[in-house]
Amino acid sequence: MRIDIFPGIPNSMQMRIILFAMVISACAPSRPDKLINEIEAAVEMPAGAHPIYQYRRYYTENERVVAGTYIFNRKPGREWRTSQNSVITIHGGCDVVNVAYSKRDQRIAFIECNDTAE
């Protein structure tokens, strides 16, 4: 079978190019990872909050906003969730931080500690 994606280049070389491109694309960060990296680079934690790396960070999105919930005292890390499987928290003070990232403006729209139980 002749492959003519790159005319004039032998089949064996075309296959190597295609396989190389597939390997490289598999190694590249996924869209959520890239977006999360951008968000976390822009985050300035609120007064009273712990450093961002000490939180378990959950993200979900709609067409305009990426919403994040950071929860302290869980295994640190981050994960992307569907809106049906998002995290809901009540109270927690700065052990729970909420963040919203505007996709249109490409900036943090707000970040704040959760309220506290009185």
| Average of per-residue pLDDT across 56-69 | 90
* pLDDT classification of 19: cutoffs 50, 70, 90: low
pLDDT above 90 covers what percent of the chain? 47
Length of the chain: 118
| Average of per-residue pLDDT across 21-40 | 68
pLDDT of res. 25: 42
Taking the C-alpha atoms of residue 94 and residue 50, their distance in angstroms, rounded to an integer, is 8
DSSP structure class, residue 47: T
Query: Would you say residue 7 has pLDDT above 80?
Result: no
Residue, of 15 and 45, whose pLDDT is higher: 45
pLDDT of res. 99: 93
